[in-house]
Structure 1
Amino acid sequence: MTYLLFGIGLLCLFFGGEYLVRGASAVARHFRLSPMVIGLTIVGFGTSAPEMLVSVQAALEGRPGIAIGNVVGSNIANILLILGVSALIAPLLIPARKLWRDLGFMLAATAILWVMLLDGDISRLEGILLLAGLATFLGVAFLTGKQDSDEVTVGDIPQWKAWAMTAAGLVVLVVGARLLVDSATELARGFGISEAVIGLTIVAVGTSLPELATSVIAAIRKQTEIAVGNIVGSNVFNIFGILGTTAVIAPIPAEARFALIDMPWAAATAVGLTLLAFLLGGLPRIAGALLLGAYGGYLWLMG
């Protein structure tokens, strides 16, 4: 039964990612928004639903370490693992004029979170400031997306069907991620793998599975702007949206290790992605290999 659920979870991730990418691309064309903007917003935010559920529930249950660790760990996995795999499948080449504004927001969000964690908690006021950052990000994304409208052709899929495909893809992704995490954890325990290794691999990557499926499918379909925008948008939403919402609901105490150990990793990952993207004009396959190598080193050090 566990193997069956594992297989169903994989199928859900594949078909959910396929429908989400196709639907989001059609939505972008209907509104004459660039695929990058749709990747940053609808796709990026939608695939962050598991992180939102986990962090809010953890904060309400008095487990702040999970709430923060989930976001920081997912952001690292998003860049090193997911963009690494996606770039190996197909080079992710994005024009520099689109990179600076979006990666700039991701760098700013990472720096702001690091500063907030230095005093040992994220207060309600800081949560409101994070949500204000999210609103600013959305405003800039849609404004610049309209300016890029000359690059977009009108879609041939009816608008209602495009939205239905996008919504269905998101739902199937979340269901698939849940099935895969639960079944994979059960299988790992059956093989005698320790809880620490399970937490470091399956659970840490589990909430990022929708991003992985979506970006990989987008790379296969040569929708490189959605593949990159999905990750950048997800990382921005994880910090501004998820931690902002969570802190407004319940202030989040933070262990010192987050500011001293985990945030340096997250910041180095974000800066490394930005440097690779600008120096190489995007993320060619060599960049994907470098990102995956860095993720392997991260897992080895954390283990």
Structure 2
Amino acid sequence: MNQQKISVKVSRVQQLSPTIKMFEFIAQDAQLSTFSAGSHVTVHMDEAGIRRAYSLISDPKRPQHYRISVLRDEQSKGGSAYMHDSVVEGDELHLSPAENFFPLVQDVTCKHILVAGGIGITPFMSYLYELEAAGMDFELHYCFRDGANAAYVNELRERVGQRLHVYDNALDQHLSIEQLVKGQDKNSHLYVCGPQPLINAVIEQGNAHLGEKQVHFENFGAVASTGSSFEVHFQRSGFSLEIGEGTSILQAIEDDKRIAIECLCRNGVCGTCETSILEGEADHRDHYLDDDERAAQKTMMLCVSRAKGQRLVLDI
């Protein structure tokens, strides 16, 4: 992760839905930089000792301000709750410079199909600027559980028009991913961001009908979470799990269902699942901690990192 920090002021906060807020930042000391569509910034919530990555939703070529949208997650370990409850207009925060692990393919000769689930709409908000500026052919498929809690629906209808397809599950509207993908030209590029089951389904159908090179998802680097099995003891929860050779700690926790863990990227970049190590050493495989933080062995990312030895004790 880029360790440089940008000092910013919160210039606007807007409640987009009962569970989603938009935050706008302006630079304090220097001008913000342009970025590419799909980029994210890491917000440093220094008072709470928290860092979280959020997709930029503003115009990449007009960096007078940066904007992000934050979903309040009731399972939050602090990041989204802090943003919603503690951050107000006029506050000063720090951001890491924009980075992009989910770029738009710059190909004007083919169609671009965007599939968003819930708050996964956010990276596509910046995509639209580049798609429209280059005159690319595209369509956006936006799925959500309940229209009352969805963001940007009306704005997208006005902006995208007939290229927007909305699926409100509360109204029994559901996207058939297989039908969508089967009907596309083989040269089409397919993108997805949202809940993991949606990502998995789009990848499966996209790989089968378009090929792996045409399918894009918010993969922050292919970090394998395979290796020797080991035991993890969750100190505060009072139980242990055996982590198999092909399973991550996060996957084991989700399969067990006794603990709820927030994780945005699932690939060791966003820092959402950062957890304190009480005993043992981690085999760090993330892109979030710097070399000194890894050597200190104080925290680890549950989505990708493993144990160096046979046992870890974590502060969960």
Give the structure-1-normalised TM-score: 0.24
- Higher helix share goes to which structure? 1
Which structure is larger by alpha-carbon Rg, 1 or 2?
A: 2
Give the structure-2-normalised TM-score: 0.24
- Higher strand share goes to which structure? 2
